[in-house]
Amino acid sequence: MSSLDTALDRVLTAPGISGAMLLDAVTGLTYAESGEVSGGRDSCEIAEIARTRLNRAGASGELESVVVTTSTRHLVTLQLARRGDPLLLCATVDRERTNLTWALRELHRHADELLA
Partner 1 sequence: MTQSGTEEPLADSRNVPALLSALRDRARSCTVLVTGTPGGSIHVRDGLVVAMETPGAPGIEGLLLRSGRISEEAWSAVRASDTTHEHLAAELVARGLVGAGELEVISLGALFDAAFALSLAVPDSWEVADPVPALHRNAGVTPERLLDEVSRRINLLAGEPGSVAALARTRVRSVSAAGLPGTAAGLPARHQEVLAHADGRGTARDIAFALGRGLFAVMMDLRHLLDRGLVQPHLPSAENRPSTAARGAPSAPLAGASAAPRSVPLPRREPGRNSAPELRPHD
Judged by the rule CB under 8 A, the positions of this chain that interact with partner 1 are 1-5, 7, 22, 24, 26-29, 31, 51-52, 55-56, 58, 82-85, 87, 113-116
Closest to partner 1 by CB, 52 or 99? 52
Q: Min. distance of Cβ 67 from partner 1 in angstroms?
A: 21
Q: Which residue number, 82 or 97, has a Cβ lying nearer to partner 1?
A: 82
Contact 94, 107 (CB under 8 A): no
Nearest to 11 by CA among 74, 75, 93: 93
CA distance 22 to 46: 15
Whole-number Cα distances in Å, 45 to 41, 79, 109, 115: 7, 12, 24, 22
Please list the alpha-helical segments (H only) found in 19-99.
40-56
Minimum CB distance to partner 1, residue 94 (Å) = 25
| 55 or 69: CB nearest partner 1 | 55
Q: How far is the CB of 109 from partner 1 (least distance, A)?
A: 15
Closest to partner 1 by CB, 68 or 115 = 115
